[in-house]
Structure 1
Amino acid sequence: MIPVAGYVGQSVGVLGLGRSGLSAARSLRAGGAEALCWDDNPDARAKAEAEGFECLDLGKEAVMSRLSALVVSPGIAHLYPEPNRVVAAALLAGVPVDNDIGLFFASLGSGAWVELDVPPRVVAVTGSNGKSTTSALIAHLIESAGKTAQLAGNIGRGVLDIDEPLSGDVIVLELSSYQTELARALTPDIAVFTNLSPDHLDRHHGMGGYFAAKRRLFAEGGPDRAVIGVDENEGMFLDNQLSAGQGDDRVIRISVERKLTGHGWNVYAKKGFLAEWRKGRQVASIDLREVKGLPGAHNHQNACAAYAVCRALGIAPRDIEKGFHSFKGLPHRSQLIAEAAGISYVNDSKATNVDAAYMALRAFENIRWICGGLEKEGGLSGLQDALGHVKKAYVIGREAAQFAMQLKGVEAEVCTTMEKAVEAAMRDALEGDVVLLAPAAASFDQYDSFEKRGDDFSQEVLKRL
C-alpha cells in the first residue's frame, strides 16, 4: 500500500467505493487522514463500513464543509454530460476534486522512497486501443530481463494498492482518459500515447475533449521521455509539441503504417518486422511474425510501444526479443482459446469499438466473425476496409438485426445470443478459418462487462470441442 501524503489530520471525501475508491480510502487512512465515504449502492457502503470507514452523504453541505478534498472514482462523471451531484457540490464549495492517480503522484517521493539508492521509475500508458496489452507487455519485458515491475491503474491492482517499491523498481500504470483528465498531479518518468480513436465521447464532450484528457499526461506531467504513436493526426501534433526538433530523442516515435527513419529516435513495424532507428541509422530489428502472443498490426503497435519504453529503460534488444516470445497475451485481447481441426478460436471481446474491431479483423484471414452488442457513436462504416477478411458474420445483441444491416457486402446471420452465434460459426467453419469474437460494440445490452462476454464465448467454444 502507498500511504497518501499531505492530509494528516484532515477529512477527505471518497466518492465511489469500487476497487479504486476503497483503495484510496485505505491509503488515506494509512497516511493519517480521515476518509469519509459515499456510494449510492448500499452494498458498497456496507463493505466500507465493515472496514471501519464512516459513510456519509457527501453532497450535504454540512459534510462537504468538513472536507479538504474530494476523491472521485473514474466511473463517476465530473464534468460531462453533467457533474455528479456530489461533484457539483464540491465545485460550488471550492473543495478540490482529485482521484487516486492524483493522490499517487502527489505522494510519490514521500516517506521511504526518498532514501532509495535508485529511485523507482513510473511508466504511464494511455491511448484509445492497446493500453492494457502494452502495459502488461512492458511489465513482462522488464521482469523477463531480470528486473522488478508492478502493474497497476486501469489494469491489475489499484495504483495505491501496490507494494512500496524498492530501489530500481519500475511501476507501470495503464491510465484511461477518465483518470488522466481528473488527476491533479501527473508526473511519470516515461509517458506513452498509443493511438486515438472515438470513444467515451459523451464523457469528454467530443473528440477535442477526449484528446485533451489524454494530452494532460504529457502537458501536465512533463515526462523525461515520451513514446508517441504518430499514425493519427493527434499523435503527430503531440509529437510536434513535445519535441524541440528532429534530433530530440526525448520523444520516441512509433508507427505501424510507415517507416520512421529520421534523425530522432524511432521504432516502427512493417510486414511483421520491428525496426529501431536512431540518429538516422538502424540499430536493431526483431521479427514479430512468429510471436504468437502478439498477432496482427495492432499488436505490433503495442510491441513497438513496449520496445521503446524498455529501450528507454536501458534493456537490450536481444532481451526484449526474448521477452516477446514468452508473452502469452491478455485474456479477451486477441486471445487464442483453442485450435482444432485446423480452425482457430480467438477471443477479442475487448474490441468494444470500431477501431479495435478493425485491427482485429485485419490481423486474420478467413474469419467467421461474431460481432454486435451495444453500438457506440459513429456507426460501423470504419470497418469497411477490413470486411474483405470476413467470410461470414454472426451477429449477437438485442439490436442484432439493425447491426447486421450495416455490414455492407458481408453475409450476416442474426443469432442474437452467444450460444447460437458460436454454434452457427462452428457449424460453418472449415480448415484454415478463424472463429473470431471482435464485437465492435459494448457488452452492456447482454453482459455486465466485456470480460463476461469473452468468458461466455470461450465456454461455448470449449464445450463443443
Structure 2
Amino acid sequence: MKNFPTSLLGQRVVVLGGGVSGTAALRLLKERQANAVLCNSQPVPDSDVPFVGEDVILADLLPIALIVKSPGISPSHSVLSQASSLAIPVVSEVELARAFYSGKLIGVTGTDGKSTTTSLSTHLVSSDFPGATAGGNIGLAFSDFCLKPIPLAVLELSSYQLEDSGPLELNVSVILNLASDHLERHKNLDNYFAAKTRIVDSSNSQHTLVTSSKLYRERIQKLGWSCKILVFGREVGNDAFISEEDRTIKTAKSVYDAKNFPLPGGHNLDNLAASILAAEAIGAKPENIQTLLGTFKGLPHRFQNAGKAAGISFINDSKSTNLHSMLAGLNTWKDKKGTFLILGGRPKAEPLEPLRDFLNSGIGWVLLIGEARATWESIISPILGSHLITANNLEEGFAEIKTAVRSGRARVSSVIFSPACASFDLYKNFEERGEHFLRLVSDWSKEEP
C-alpha cells in the first residue's frame, strides 16, 4: 500500500482517536507487533497501550512510522498539522487493515442505503463465498477481521473514512447516491462527492464501479474513468433495469424476480439492484442470488416492522438521520394519507425545499420532536395546520398520538418513525432512539384489549 512502511514490526504508530475504529486499530497493531501509542482525550479502559493526550508534541515521540486517524477526528486537529510538517504518513483504520487483507473486497458508500446494501450484498454472495463478512462502518471494524482467512469482505465506507484513505484497491465499489449530508465537515457537495469517489479504483480496468443512473449521468460520466462502470435504475438499457410494476430486476446475466424480496419501498429495489450487480461482478452465480434475495431479513432500525397497536402498523426507521434518507423511504410509500410520520431530532445542514415538496404530496399527520421544532415547525405548520403535533420528546409525542387516535381525530393506518435528523439532542445514537420507539410501541400494544 502506498503510505505504508515495508513492515510495522517494532515501529512506532500513533493511533489518533480511541473510538471503535481506533481501538480496533490498536488490537491489529498489537497483533502485528508494532509499537502502538494511543493519542486521545482519555485512556481506553482495560488497555495496556501507552497513552498520550491530544496536546502531545509529536516531535517528542519521533521516530513515528505512521499515524492512524479515526474518522471522527477533525481534519484540522493539531496532531494532523504536526504530522504534515514532520512528513509523517496519515492513514485511516480501513487503509491500515487493507494492507493486511488478502481476500476479495467490495466497498459500499453513498448518502443513504449503505448499511442495507452492504448487508444485502454480503447475503447475496454467501453461497458462492462462504464466510463472506460485512464490516467497516457497520458491525465489525475491518481491523478486527482483516487477518482472518475469509474469501470476501464487504465494507460499508463513510465519507469520513474515505477522505482519510489512499487507494484501497477494491475489486468492486458501489456509490449508491449523493445528497447534501455532513456538510458541516465537507463544506460543500463537491467536496463530499470527492470524498465518496475515493472508493473507486478509477484507472484500473479490472475494477468495477456500481452506481445509480442519476449519479452516473450527472457527475461520473464526465470524469472519463477507465474502470468498468455498471449502472442501475429505471431506464431501459441500464445494466440493472428495475421494473417496479413487474417487481423484477434485469441484468445481462438474468432477470431476477423480486416479488418475494421482503423489504418495502422503491428505494430498497435500488439497493437490491446495486447489490445484485456487485454480487455478479465479484463472481456470484445468478441462480444463487435469486434464491438468497427472498431470505434477506433487513436491518434493525431501517424500515423495520415494529408491530401493531390499536390496529395501526408501526415502522421503525430510526436510522434515517437526514432528509434524503427519510424521503428515499417515504416518497414511494403508497398510503401517505393514512400515515402518521414522526420527524425530529438534531437537524443537519441541508436544503429544506424537498421537505416542503414531500409534505405537499399528501402526508396525513406529522409529529415533530426535539431540536428540529425550532426550524421545521414554521415550514410544516402552514402545510399541515392542525395535522401537525409538536412535543418535546418521543414519549410525550406518543401520548399525543394516542389521544388523537383514540378520539377519532386522527384516522391512520400506520405510524412511521423516520426522524430525518441526528439523534444526539436526546439519545446517544440512532440505535438507542430506535429501541425507545420499539418499547413505546410494545407498551401501547399491551394497553389494547
TM-score, length-scaled by structure 1: 0.85
Task: Give the drift of 1:434.
Answer: 1.3
**Partner AA of 2:185 in structure 1:** R
Aligned partner of residue 123 in structure 2, secondary structure: helix
* Corresponding residue for residue 161 of structure 1: 144
Which amino acid in structure 1 is aligned with residue 19 of structure 2? G
Change (3 A) 1:89 1:163: closer
Question: 1:235 offset after TM fit, Å?
Answer: 6.1
* Alpha-carbon distance in 2 for matches of 1:283, 1:220: 27
Counterpart for residue 52 of structure 1: 48
Q: Deviations over 1:42-69 (max 9, x none)?
A: 2xx142xx33200123631433433111
Alignment partner, residue 413 of structure 1: 389
Alignment partner of 1:231 is 2:227: no
Contact 1:228/1:235 (<8 A) preserved: no
- Cα distance per residue 1:190-232 (max 9 Å; x no partner): 1001000001112112111100001111146846211111223
- C-alpha separation between the residues in 2 aligned to 1:123 and 1:291? 22
1:310 to 268, 279, 283: 279
Flag the structure with more relative contact order, 1 or 2, with Cα contacts below 8 A and sequence separation at least 6: 2
Question: Which aligned pairs between 1:19-418 and structure 2 lie closer than 5 A?
Answer: 19-40=20-41, 42=42, 45-47=43-45, 50-57=46-53, 59-78=56-75, 83-109=76-102, 120-143=103-126, 147-162=130-145, 164-166=147-149, 169-219=151-201, 222=204, 224-232=207-215, 236-239=218-221, 241=223, 250-255=228-233, 258-261=234-237, 265-271=239-245, 273-278=247-252, 283-288=254-259, 290-292=260-262, 294-364=263-333, 365=335, 366-387=338-359, 388-400=361-373, 402-407=375-380, 408-410=382-384, 411-418=387-394
* CA shift for structure 1 position 444: 1.2
- Is 1:433 aligned with 2:413? yes
5+ long unaligned stretches in structure 1: 110-119
* 1:399 Cα deviation after fit: 4.3
**CA 1:138–1:431 in 2, change beyond 3 Å: closer, same or farther?**
farther
Distance 1:283 1:322 in 2: 13
Contact persistence 1:193–1:228 (CA under 8 A): yes
Report the secondary structure of 1:231's partner residue.
Answer: helix
3-state secondary structure, aligned to 2:174: strand
Matched residues in 1 for 2:362 and 2:132: separation? 38
RMSD, aligned CA = 2.4
TM-score scaled by structure 2?
Answer: 0.88
User: Structure 2: which 5+ residue stretches go unaligned?
Assistant: none
Q: 1:337 to 1:5 in 2, by over 3 A?
A: farther
SS in 2 for 1:66: coil
Alpha-carbon distance in 2 for matches of 1:464, 1:424:
12
Query: Does the 8 A contact of 1:122 with 1:188 survive in 2?
Result: yes
Letter in 2 for 1:77: S
3-state SS, counterpart of residue 463 of structure 1: helix
C-alpha distance in structure 2 between counterparts of 1:30 and 1:185, whole Å = 24
The 3-state SS of whatever aligns with 2:383 is: coil
Count residues with an aligned counterpart: 428
Deviations 1:227-281 (A, max 9, x none): 111223x66432453666xxx9x321012xx32316xx33434336232243xxx
Measured after TM superposition, the shift of residue 347 of structure 1 is: 0.7
Aligned to 1:113: none
